[in-house]
Structure 1
Amino acid sequence: MHRLFRSNRSALPLLLAFLMSFGLWAAPAAAQTTGRIAGVVVDASTGDPLRGVNIGLRGTTLGTATNRDGRFVIADVPPETYVLAASFIGYETIERTIVVPSGETTRVRLAFAPTDIELQGVEVIGRRAQSYTTDYSFVATKSATPLPLVPQSVSVVTKEVLEDQQIYRLNDVFKNVAGVTTFSGYNDYTSRGFRNQDARLINGLKAGFSFWTNPILPHIERVEIIKGPASALFANTNPGGTINMVTKKPLAAPRQAIDFTLGSYDTYRATADFTGPLTDDRTVLYRLNVGYENADSFRRLQFNESLLIAPSVSFLPTEDTRVNVDFVYSTVSTRLDRGQPIFNETENLTSTPISFSLSQPGDFMDNTNFHVTASLSHEFTDWLAFNSSYMKFRYDHDLEEHRTSNVFLPNDPTTLQLAFIKRKQTRTVDNVTNYFTIDGETGALAHQGLLGFDFLQQDDNRTQWGARGAEFFILPDGTRTPGGNVGNFSLTNPTYTIEGRNPSTYVANWFSQPWLIDPVRRRTYGLYAQDQIQWNDLRVLLSMRHEWYYDILPQGDGTTRTVEQTSWLPRVGVVYSVLDGLNIYGTYTEGFQPQAASVIINPQVGGPFDPEESLLYEGGAKATLFGGRLSATTAIYQITKQNVLVSANDPGNPERLVQRGEERSRGIEFEVAGSPVEGLQLTANYAYNNAVITEAAQPANEGDVKENAPHHMGGFWATYTLDGGPLEGLGAGAGAHFVTERNTFEESLQLPGYTVANASVFYTVNNFKITATINNVFDKTYWVGGYNFGRLYPGAPRTMLLKVGYTF
């Protein structure tokens, strides 16, 4: 897959130019002896535009479907009186008599009234929402629960936000979420002051993505972030928050969409999204998402080539039974970017350019992800239902890289000693969740009960070896140890000469881990019960989970060692409806995270270590405004976490870790999203967070602010589209996000705060939409995260993207 379609790049601009020119002349090309019908379709209760609505003229073959802005055009309509029919799943059908004069455009506005359709037990078919906000969540309670009734902060970034901001990777989502920012250039982030490197959820099931690359999102419906520990739901999770990515499900209404994007740094993208029924009775639905990207980078020697294919099928044999099957295959070919090194012990972050890299031309990293998910929902009665989901995930990783060994030559702050790593890895994850939902009443109390069982098995196997130093490796105190023939790297006179794969001159002198006959295996079993109790305007959530953790570690002599841990994980929440559209809530929940098997088995790390434990207290308010068109959430919280592993900063052994006693995070968050007036969509967030070390291995560090945990962060994004007039379909978007100063793992190195502005302009004509986006409008130099003087992660300079999309 390495640079798969590079030879076809020259054809893409010609294709894009053709599509753009076609979109501009297609509208006025209709013969003047006919007329046109143009209109918009919205949800009558929220005013949100509806995408994929079937529009047709009774007794003719003329028809179309609405685009993502709810708009449609039927061209070349003979002058006559017609019955316009519009239908969409979950809404009442609309029929309206209209007159189409010769040479004129007849404009209509259709407002659909929702029908009373019960939410699914698990998300099997696609949803109709088309806005910056959503009104429910499955992942927050493992059942379809309106977000205002969830006693915990849950942030949701919908596909409309992803599309309008042209977001393609997960780490770009976080600027839309209060209290969340990227930690580095890898697949990790900081939420409420805590670094999260854990596996991401897909449709509520744990996946096994690589830490080194970010998931791409062309097949994602929305990204949800549950703030605080979610162990009562998903066993071992990070206390700052848990990410869930919801895939696009099949729709009952047919719709097809393709788009092409080109941009700065030789960026080319293409996506396709096809969905609809496979049978006349709409009991079998399909969806196919495809995404491709080929792009260079402002970072030297860096590039990304990715391909994703994601088909899914939903089967609805009866009103009581629903089945969905998703397949997702993705590949990424790139080099591992270890960040920008700067001169040692200097506060000048621009002592080297932000494009500076230690990678060599022969370095490579190829990652492949594949997973299949099957979900079943069946209602036995109107009060008892069963839900089951299974996911099989496989990750393959092949790497050769040159990187810093975190050691500068003595008395030379401009020369780093290099290291070389060669690694192959596979990871497979089997994840099963089964639960019953039970609705009932006891006197004046209404209950929504849940009883379930989860199982997860993760197998990891890898072989790797490392070499560092030239003829000898110099420690900071001047001590010389035998080297592995890896040369030093001058930051003032860099050389990029190492070509090819698997340099044969290196001698492994750092670590070596052979491929194991039996992989490192983790198994977890969980039993849990939950009840959401309602009495008048008061709702109480009570849940308890018991989890068994087993790490099965090969010993190298044909035997294995099993490490067993167990934990009780409670969760208590309260929601009270103060007014119509205003709820206040409070929650208490505990978290648990056993140390990774890779830490337990690695002799270089320095264990054994105790598991991580956490505790959350949170309170807040959730409101719906403007007739439900706008949602707002405010949260105040405190999180404590014990037994955190951090780098020992041991130059002689970069793998060695130490354990902190306790970290504490306190803060307040605010988020708002929706469409307060027609044509305007917005999302905004702000967070204050104070995350400090309260108990440390070195008492002098107690009271220090945690790494990459800014005190303030926030942002906004808004778009406005003209409805009517000669500029109908023209719109613009603008926004910005900011982060204040952050500490790194080096006490003397702090990253400055930054504010980055973004803007876009778009035009919809017929079924074409053209979007131009500028990110980092003012070309701000900034750093999204960093570890030390050898590893900083700069943000991208000003970049531009042009996308042409067609919906049919």
Structure 2
Amino acid sequence: MKIRFSLIVLCAILLLTLPYQANAQKSLTLQGFVRDRLGKPLPGATINVEGTNLITSTNSKGYYKLKVNNGKITVHFLFIGFKGVSRTLDLNADANEDVVLQESDSDLQQVEITGRKEKAYKTKATFIGKIENELKDIPQSVSYASKELIADQGLMRVGEVVKNFSGVNQFSFYDDLTIRGFRVNGQSNTQLLNGLRTSTGFWKQSLANYLERIEILKGPSSALFGNASPGGVVNRVTKKPLDETRRSVSMTLGSFNTFRGLADFTGPATKDSTLLYRLNVGYENAETFRDLMFDKNIVIAPSLTFVPSEKTRINFDLVYTDSKSRLDRGQPIFGSFDLNSTPQSLSLNTTNDYLNELTYNATVSITHKINDALSLNASYLKTGYSEDLNEHRTSNAYAVDGTGASINNLAGMIVQIRKRKRFIDNFSGYINYTPKTGAFEHKIVAGYDFGSEVTPLGGSQLTANGYRNAANNGSIATYVPANRSRYLLDAAGNPVPNVPHFNLNDPLSSQRMQDDSKLFFAQSVVAPTYYYLNSGYVQDQLKIGALQVLLGLRYEYYTDFANYKTQTEAKTNSHAWLPRLGAVYSVTPNVNIYGSYVEGYNPQTSSTIANPNAGGPFDPLKSNMVEFGAKTSWFRDQLSISAAVYQIKQTGALYATPGVVDLLRQIGDEQSRGFELDVIGKIMPNWNVIASYSYNRAKILESGTAGEVGIQKPNSPKNTANLWTRYTFTDGAVKGFGVALGVNYMDKRNLIYDARFSPVDQITIPSYILFNAGLFYNIGKLQLQLNANNIGNKKHWVGGYDYLRLFPGQPENYMLTIGYSI
């Protein structure tokens, strides 16, 4: 615990010494009231001085008081739902400045290429539906986390952020999640970047330093985005340029030899502000609590916005990530299925292993406003990914003796060496039309999407597995006791593995550098794949009085090339009509109730699975969802509370086959029913909160494996609950200090069903409660932050596949961040 003590001492020294850093300028008091046009106070309005870290909020009476420096300053007054006001003041004495804010119109940009200026957990609007909509007017549940929440919790991975969302949890260490009982992974086009479909390398979770927010639209989203998961779609919104100068840098030191450096610069690039820029840079060099694991990441994310006129905006975004690490396949345990039989740090890797990944996402977006009711929008996203992998991994089974019985202290092993690339293109062009016809107001979206993904020629893989043949000049994939004469046997009569087994009783010997030149490798091609899709859609959100009705329809035509780039190449096609129906009724200005019906569709071809050993062909996924809920706002729209009940049905899901590497099996119908509650925003101007609860009953209704029917789906907890709250002191001797507390509850979860055991003997991972905390101190432009996670060192697992692939959660850890902003 030396690092914990060192961090606490360092933080204490800095907190004690920094208040004595005197500012050479004279300190003055700026105070006043912020009200609406009717004279009513606006509690929680934000007041900040441009180019500084001086910021405060109004109290319940709309009153504010802020210490500022003498001379000329520009002060911004902001409140969600109102137009911001800026005042340039030349001060040489204490001053009063009262401000009246006007309610904002919803006539903003139609695609998200203008940066968000608010500094709060709560977000009022989203562009996830290809038109700006207030969250309360969307007839589906949406969970989100702003960059402020992400920063306060000291997070860097999307998989960590989702603990704040109802009905969402990690599935493994990889870039995959469970949303309402359905698995969503980064390689299946269920993750969006600024509303456009993309994919990740799957093995590593996306970093978050370049993100404005992370949002999840719950339920099938195919009517909006094409083939997608029935659980929901993850949208990563990148930070965009601002028309005001902001610059910040930070460094983080912490447990597991973590070092992280971040920088964020934005502002006008020209005097007339027709060109705006933003640059986010991140560097991470960290070990983990897992044996042999490390992460070295460099992220460069520049963005430019060109504003040639008030009607036209053009934006360019690039996110470039260079990642070097090892692929962590999880913790193995002994065949007794005792979760505590091995340390959580144990991995099956060796020091030979590496995973090098390069990813870029380049986006060009344009919006042109023809008139007050009509605008044209177009976006193009290019994704490139390359993988260079060398790994020693489990064969998903224990070693066997001469009779075929498992030797439960020896894990079967495979060596895989692979290089491959993948490229994705997405284009989205559409119109937004907001006319009025009599008593009806319309929000019409109509457009065309094109998407394609290609795995080009050149990808290949070397695989060493199985058992050595009797002549010791090759290997056989599986051991069959009846044919034992075909195998090389040791002195005890056991088959000799091609790759030495991993000895769970002596991990140090198995983790050392291995001489893989003595193995028998099988060469295989990473099959080139190619698909493209064309789709058209139209949607109208009609409003008459307090009622809004949403009617949408998408037609998707999917083309895939079987045996791509071979002599037997064949073009195959599939198509789907995808409706989206919903209604929202405003009971009061602060309470909306809604209902919706949506359908989903997702082909499951070699292109989308991206695994040549998965088997198939498989039928497409088909799904539908019915949802009802309510969305409310409180404290002048500073706090929102939403609740939803839903039912999702899906057919055709793919599951891993126990004991067989990579092979997938297709089951029948699945069903998910549940309830969700979300709270986010401010209780008081200086008191932020985000909380959620979910109940989910996700089960398999039809399967070729009888015992699987009716049990809770893998990695789908029935109950989850989360709370994070931060309070900042604004007066007295503790002014500038903040404290945060967090609690995360996760119910027990089943792992992948193993037909060799009865339903009551299936392996599960236990429930857990984690406690987290944060301390904050702002002095001028300098910020200090100390995050403590898993206080009490609760042993837990965030997910898992089976008894050889469990994914333990982090033990108690601490992170100290020092930031500077201007």
Q: TM-score, normalised by structure 1?
A: 0.90
Q: Is the deviation greater in 563-572 or in 483-492?
A: 483-492
Note if contact 2:242-2:268 (Cα within 8 Å) is conserved in structure 1: yes
Aligned to 2:22: 29
**Alignment deviations for residues 241-282 of structure 1 (CA, whole Å, 9 cap, x no partner):** 100000000011101001110000000001000000111221
Which of 414, 423, 426 pairs up with 2:409?
Answer: 414
Alignment CA distance shift 1:573-1:469 (3 Å): same
**Matched AA of 1:192:** R
Note if contact 2:170-2:176 (Cα within 8 Å) is conserved in structure 1: yes
Aligned to 1:143: 131
Q: Offset at 1:505?
A: 2.0
Aligned to 1:468: 465
1:708 maps to 2:701: no
Alignment CA distance shift 1:663-1:36 (3 Å): same
Segments of 5+ residues of structure 2 without an aligned counterpart are 59-64, 400-404, 470-475, 488-495
1:130 maps to 2:137: no
**Alignment deviations for residues 483-529 of structure 1 (CA, whole Å, 9 cap, x no partner):** 772101111112446767993222125xx43256xx31110111000
1:782 maps to 2:758: no
Distance in 2, Cα, partners of 1:466 & 1:40: 71
Aligned to 1:327: 318
Q: Offset at 1:762?
A: 0.7
Note if contact 1:749-1:788 (Cα within 8 Å) is conserved in structure 2: yes
Does the residue aligned with 1:492 lie in a helix, a strand or coil? Answer: coil
Equivalent positions of 1:406-555 (< 5 A) are 406-409=396-399, 410-461=405-456, 462-471=459-468, 478=481, 485-496=498-509, 503-509=516-522, 512-514=523-525, 519-554=528-563
Q: Offset at 1:233?
A: 0.3
Alignment CA distance shift 1:478-1:185 (3 Å): farther
Does the residue aligned with 1:212 lie in a helix, a strand or coil? Answer: coil
Q: Offset at 1:156?
A: 1.2
**Matched AA of 2:501:** N
Q: Offset at 1:181?
A: 0.4
Distance in 2, Cα, partners of 1:255 & 1:305: 27
Does the residue aligned with 2:624 lie in a helix, a strand or coil? Answer: strand
Equivalent positions of 1:676-755 (< 5 A) are 676-745=683-752, 746=754, 748-755=762-769
Does the residue aligned with 2:732 lie in a helix, a strand or coil? Answer: coil
Q: Offset at 1:441?
A: 2.3
Distance in 2, Cα, partners of 1:552 & 1:68: 58
**Alignment deviations for residues 743-784 of structure 1 (CA, whole Å, 9 cap, x no partner):** 011452011001111001111111111000100011000001
Alignment CA distance shift 1:493-1:73 (3 Å): same
Does the residue aligned with 2:650 lie in a helix, a strand or coil? Answer: strand
Does the residue aligned with 2:85 lie in a helix, a strand or coil? Answer: coil
Which of 285, 290, 298 pairs up with 1:299?
Answer: 290
Aligned to 2:647: 638
Which of 596, 616, 620 pairs up with 2:629?
Answer: 620
Note if contact 1:439-1:449 (Cα within 8 Å) is conserved in structure 2: yes
**Matched AA of 1:177:** F
Distance in 2, Cα, partners of 1:603 & 1:215: 24
Does the residue aligned with 1:308 lie in a helix, a strand or coil? Answer: strand
Does the residue aligned with 1:407 lie in a helix, a strand or coil? Answer: strand
**Matched AA of 2:521:** A
Aligned to 2:656: 647
Aligned to 1:7: none
Does the residue aligned with 2:199 lie in a helix, a strand or coil? Answer: coil
Distance in 1, Cα, partners of 2:161 & 2:11: 32
Note if contact 1:210-1:395 (Cα within 8 Å) is conserved in structure 2: yes
Equivalent positions of 1:68-147 (< 5 A) are 74-75=68-69, 77=70, 85-87=74-76, 90-94=83-87, 100=93, 116=105, 118-139=107-128, 141-147=129-135
Does the residue aligned with 1:265 lie in a helix, a strand or coil? Answer: coil
1:257 maps to 2:248: yes
1:595 maps to 2:607: no
Distance in 2, Cα, partners of 1:695 & 1:276: 56
**Matched AA of 1:398:** D
Segments of 5+ residues of structure 1 without an aligned counterpart are 1-9, 56-62
**Alignment deviations for residues 632-686 of structure 1 (CA, whole Å, 9 cap, x no partner):** 110000000001111222x3x4232221110000000000000021210000000
Distance in 2, Cα, partners of 1:469 & 1:641: 36
Distance in 1, Cα, partners of 2:35 & 2:806: 47
Does the residue aligned with 1:131 lie in a helix, a strand or coil? Answer: coil
Distance in 1, Cα, partners of 2:632 & 2:719: 23
Alignment CA distance shift 1:67-1:211 (3 Å): farther
The alignment covers a number of residue pairs equal to 770
Alignment CA distance shift 1:638-1:231 (3 Å): same
Q: Is the deviation greater in 283-292 or in 700-709?
A: 700-709
Aligned to 1:562: 571
**Matched AA of 2:637:** G
Distance in 1, Cα, partners of 2:20 & 2:269: 31
Does the residue aligned with 1:173 lie in a helix, a strand or coil? Answer: helix
Distance in 2, Cα, partners of 1:611 & 1:576: 35
1:674 maps to 2:677: no
Alignment CA distance shift 1:463-1:500 (3 Å): farther
Distance in 2, Cα, partners of 1:112 & 1:501: 68
Q: TM-score, normalised by structure 2?
A: 0.88
Distance in 1, Cα, partners of 2:278 & 2:34: 23
**Alignment deviations for residues 26-63 of structure 1 (CA, whole Å, 9 cap, x no partner):** 764246x9444578998978645648x554xxxxxxx7
Distance in 2, Cα, partners of 1:362 & 1:690: 43
**Matched AA of 2:463:** G
Distance in 2, Cα, partners of 1:135 & 1:527: 29
Alignment CA distance shift 1:709-1:93 (3 Å): same
Does the residue aligned with 2:707 lie in a helix, a strand or coil? Answer: helix
Note if contact 1:611-1:643 (Cα within 8 Å) is conserved in structure 2: yes
Aligned to 1:318: 309
Note if contact 2:605-2:617 (Cα within 8 Å) is conserved in structure 1: no
1:399 maps to 2:389: yes
**Matched AA of 1:573:** G
Does the residue aligned with 1:161 lie in a helix, a strand or coil? Answer: helix
Q: Offset at 1:116?
A: 4.8
Aligned to 2:177: 189
Q: Is the deviation greater in 739-748 or in 564-573?
A: 739-748
Q: Offset at 1:111?
A: 7.8
**Matched AA of 2:148:** E
Alignment CA distance shift 1:520-1:46 (3 Å): farther
Which of 369, 372, 382 pairs up with 2:359?
Answer: 369
Q: Offset at 1:91?
A: 1.8
Note if contact 2:49-2:55 (Cα within 8 Å) is conserved in structure 1: no
Equivalent positions of 1:189-338 (< 5 A) are 189-197=177-185, 198-199=188-189, 200-338=191-329
Q: Offset at 1:344?
A: 1.2
Aligned to 1:608: 617
Distance in 2, Cα, partners of 1:275 & 1:97: 25
Does the residue aligned with 2:667 lie in a helix, a strand or coil? Answer: strand
**Matched AA of 2:298:** L
